[in-house]
Structure 1
């Protein structure tokens, strides 16, 4: 994807969160498109950077703001939180 032209997009936070939720629903319905998966992850990264927070969320939001790429953010997040994220991201631990 690095060789493709880039498109910059500005959304209000609530618009981005709505789009992110729709992508999540679509992906959870069984869609197996790696481009949609990456778009979902990219949007989640930028939402977190914009939203901020306190405690654990604030620490992860700080990583999101400092990262120059999705891959850099995900590597830093994994390095900082490691196994904690694995437990938090399991389906049974998500809010309904």
Structure 2
């Protein structure tokens, strides 16, 4: 992922490289996939769908690194509920 001092990053949670890496991860049978900078649960659900479509049943780790995910209780709850593991 990319980080910018002061936040405000508008990049998507999953880059094209991340999407390709999910396919590779499925091929090698990883147990966990970490999603950097999720803003909401849908970012994690999208990663999970991509993984499942690639034949991967890996657990999804939310790497919480965005202020928007922790400043809003509903957003944080959404991230927690959509993930299998949370890393702050």
TM-score (norm 1): 0.28
TM-score using structure 2 length: 0.30
Question: Quick one: higher RCO (CA 8 Å, sep 6+), 1 or 2?
Answer: 2
- The answer to which structure has the higher strand fraction is 2
Higher helix share: 1
Q: Considering only CA atoms, is the larger Rg found in Structure 1 or Structure 2?
A: 1
